[in-house]
Structure 1
Amino acid sequence: MTLKPILKHIVKHSAAALALLGAAGAAGAQDLLVKIGHSGPLSGAQAFSGKDNENGVRLAVEELNAKPITVGGKKLRFELLSEDDQGDPKSGMAAAQKLIDKGVKFVVGPYNSGVAIPASRAYNDAGVLLATVATNPKVTQQGYAGLFRINASDTQLGSKMALYAAKELKFKNVAVIDDRTAFGQGVAEEFKKQAKASGMQIAGHEFTTDKAFDFSAILTKLKTKQPDAIFFGGYAPQAAPMARQMRQLGIHAKLLGGDTICTAEMGKLAGDAAGDNVLCSQGGALLDKASAGPAFKAKFKARFKQDADVYAASYYDATLMYAQAMQKANSTDPAKVGPAVSAGAYQGVAGTYSFDAKGDMKQSPVTIFTFKNGQPLPLSSY
């Protein structure tokens, strides 16, 4: 073959290759990028929860991209942007601003009520939709139309734990400790309110912080009141040493708490100090009994090489709930997607997401757990 035909051959096939690349680029350009934000504690004592929640979002994003949906004639491509809010209000505001500056319009989180209450204001002002598991009633009392609580509130978690203590355990005398966070105070007050309404006496109410690890002084004080149970409004990194110290001090009262101690991390940190002496309340139906629960748990473990913890399924559900609302609204504009979420109902793994005017779930069952072999063991749903 002479030089001229060779050059002609090269030019011809190069042009064909460029045409294919151009076509692929044009197809890619037709995709519509949707950024899904996540805010949670990815460092510090609560990092186990933050990373578990983040993986719930990640799994949903990967599934959406594997089987793309179309909105307004364009294929959607989802991208996860995650920020570490350290479970701290100030860091949470910085995380919110980072996500807003990156053009995120759909956020799942924050995990902590103390972060969600101030950060939700920034998200609302920026027109961002927010789906949070933060349980303090104040979260949804702010009147933000684009804010949705995707699990039970403190009112349900605290009150159902008190009802179980009174009706099932027949307790008469209980004490309370809270860590002064928005979550801890909120759930403790709701427990106290229902405990009194159910005829139980409040032997005492002590206070600590979410950074403390030595509770011997307040536990010694409460021991003299001989309570049947101590309700702790706080998180697993504090509840675990509290359970150990109760045993060391010879306190035979049960340790009760909300969803933040209904975690394998509680069993891991407390060791053999967490057994049937610890009970906690968690929002949502039992995954093992939910129709899609076992399949979700299996694919989560296959993907991340660990079991899904408390809220991974809720974060996964929230991401897919956004996607369904985008399809219903035929838009990725949060001003149109938000009303579609409010007006609709999404059947997820952890429950049916249908919201009242405040953004609270219309139905959110609460399950009472204890511990066995370091793992939360469900006892009863209320």
Structure 2
Amino acid sequence: MNRRHCLLSLAVCALSAQAPLTRAAEPKVVKIGFVAPLTGSVARVGKDLQYGAQLALDEENARSPTVGGAPVKFVLDVQDDQADPRVAMQVAQKLDDDGVVGVIGHYNSGCSIPASAVYHQASIAMITPGSTNPQLTKQGFRNVFRTMGHDGVGGVVAGRFVVEQVKARRIGIIDDSTAFGQGLADAFERGVKEAKGSIVRREFTSDKAVDFRPILTTLKGRNVDVIFFGGLDAQGAMVVKQMRSLGMQAQLFGAGALKSNAFLQIAGTAGEGTQDLEPGPALDKLPAAQEFGKRYKARFNQDVELYAPFAYDAALAMIKAIHDANSLDRKKIVDSLAKVTVTGVTGKIAFDPYGDLIKPPYTLFEVRQGQWKSVRTLGGEGGN
């Protein structure tokens, strides 16, 4: 080898030796699970929740986050529980096997409750942005949290409101026999009784039913002036349409699941005057929520459907807990989440010892001229 070739080889070796020192370290992938129904009748709600959580992760990744001094990239591990409790437990186990450090989900209370036991055994922090059955956080699991008020509060508030403010005298109840619908109706009934109101009839259906006329005919015969529906938006819209087809003048009232674009599309003009007491503040009047809506639409080319802000805030709380713990250890994240405080789209996120939101607000919405309009906020730090 001549002198020229020798010098060239030495230069190449020197550059090769320096390359690893100048190349930026690749960020470690950190998986956060997400679970909701992404197929079936409420898939649109599941996708809305998914996009809310994804937006939070996208915005965090743009800040080049680090944990323990090392760069990380947060990735959403998305699973479909099909609103089926058995599938929910299966995907919960899959997320454990995937090595997620936390989970945003589930949507349906009937899925969240059994899945939470899987996460508890694996010490995985779980934040639901949509499950409101009180039983979820009554199990004593330290790893379970939620970013909206539960039905044990909201249902009672709704029951008292219908008696004291709506002045309903003869109230009928229909629930869909799910953990969500039945639990909500139970709480509503308790609120009515606390306010000394009168429930003249309670009826039961299923979350697959489409014909409510036999039940409505019975309630019509009891001269009800308000019907409370414990169930989801699409069925609630069918209930109100069939009420009008039977000539019923009673008002339909919900608590936590009627307010959606789908309800407006299905119910049409029959939905006018329907009221729904939703967990959370009046997002249509909050600048932070309006700005969120713009960012959401720019990213996903669609408007917020229903609960995306609560999923966004759940992801914010999870990320904040990871940073506060400065660790990817599951148990440390659970401990950190119990003490986390963060201001999100829906307001202040902080949890009580059970994992429930502290001072949760509820907002009354009414369908006016074909649109959901906020009327007043009850409870919370700034509510009436």
Amino acid at match of 1:359: G
Q: What are the within-5 Å matches in structure 2 for residues 105-184 of structure 1? A: 105-132=101-128, 133-184=130-181
Change (3 A) 1:251 1:59: same
In the other structure, the counterpart of 1:292 is 288
Amino acid at match of 1:259: G
Amino acid at match of 1:260: A
Cα deviation 1:287-311 (Å, max 9, x = unaligned): 2333422211110111112211321
In the other structure, the counterpart of 1:308 is 304
RMSD: 2.2
Change (3 A) 1:17 1:293: farther
Amino acid at match of 1:261: L
Q: Distance in 1 between matches of 2:301 and 2:28?
A: 31
Change (3 A) 1:14 1:157: farther
Q: Secondary structure in 2 aligned to 1:151?
A: coil
> Which of structure 1's runs of 4+ aligned residues deviate more than 6 A?
4-15
In the other structure, the counterpart of 2:349 is 353
Residues 175 and 203 in structure 2, CA contact (< 8 A), matched pair in contact too: yes
Residues 264 and 374 in structure 1, CA contact (< 8 A), matched pair in contact too: no
Is 1:280 matched up with 2:276?
A: yes
Q: What are the within-5 Å matches in structure 2 for residues 7-22 of structure 1? A: 16=15, 20=19
In the other structure, the counterpart of 2:74 is 78
Q: Distance in 2 between matches of 1:333 and 1:310?
A: 32
Correspondence for 1:255 among 252, 276, 296: 252
Structure 2's unaligned 5+ residue stretches are: 379-384
Change (3 A) 1:158 1:7: farther
Change (3 A) 1:8 1:286: farther
How many angstroms does 1:376 deviate by?
2.0
The TM-score, its normalising length taken from structure 2, stands at 0.92
Change (3 A) 1:178 1:10: farther
Amino acid at match of 1:293: A
Q: Distance in 1 between matches of 2:62 and 2:12?
A: 32
Q: Distance in 2 between matches of 1:143 and 1:355?
A: 14
Identify the range of structure 1 (63-72 vs 359-368) with the bigger mean alpha-carbon deviation: 63-72
Correspondence for 1:200 among 197, 220, 224: 197
Cα deviation 1:34-73 (Å, max 9, x = unaligned): 1111110101110111000000011011111111222211
How many angstroms does 1:126 deviate by?
1.0
Q: Secondary structure in 2 aligned to 1:111?
A: coil
Change (3 A) 1:194 1:17: same
Residues 160 and 194 in structure 2, CA contact (< 8 A), matched pair in contact too: no
Identify the range of structure 1 (157-166 vs 201-210) with the bigger mean alpha-carbon deviation: 157-166
In the other structure, the counterpart of 1:230 is 227
Structure 1's unaligned 5+ residue stretches are: none
Q: Distance in 1 between matches of 2:215 and 2:253?
A: 16
Amino acid at match of 1:137: P
Change (3 A) 1:224 1:333: same
Residues 370 and 377 in structure 1, CA contact (< 8 A), matched pair in contact too: yes
The TM-score, its normalising length taken from structure 1, stands at 0.93
Is 1:329 matched up with 2:325?
A: yes
In the other structure, the counterpart of 1:55 is 51
Q: Distance in 2 between matches of 1:312 and 1:134?
A: 13
How many angstroms does 1:374 deviate by?
3.9
Q: Distance in 1 between matches of 2:334 and 2:28?
A: 18
Amino acid at match of 1:183: F
Residues 354 and 363 in structure 1, CA contact (< 8 A), matched pair in contact too: no
Correspondence for 1:38 among 34, 38, 49: 34
Q: Secondary structure in 2 aligned to 1:260?
A: coil
Amino acid at match of 2:348: T
Q: Distance in 1 between matches of 2:13 and 2:304?
A: 50
Is 1:212 matched up with 2:209?
A: yes
Amino acid at match of 1:165: V
How many angstroms does 1:5 deviate by?
7.8
How many angstroms does 1:155 deviate by?
1.5
Residues 366 and 374 in structure 2, CA contact (< 8 A), matched pair in contact too: yes
Q: Distance in 2 between matches of 1:310 and 1:330?
A: 32
Residues 131 and 150 in structure 1, CA contact (< 8 A), matched pair in contact too: yes
In the other structure, the counterpart of 1:240 is 237
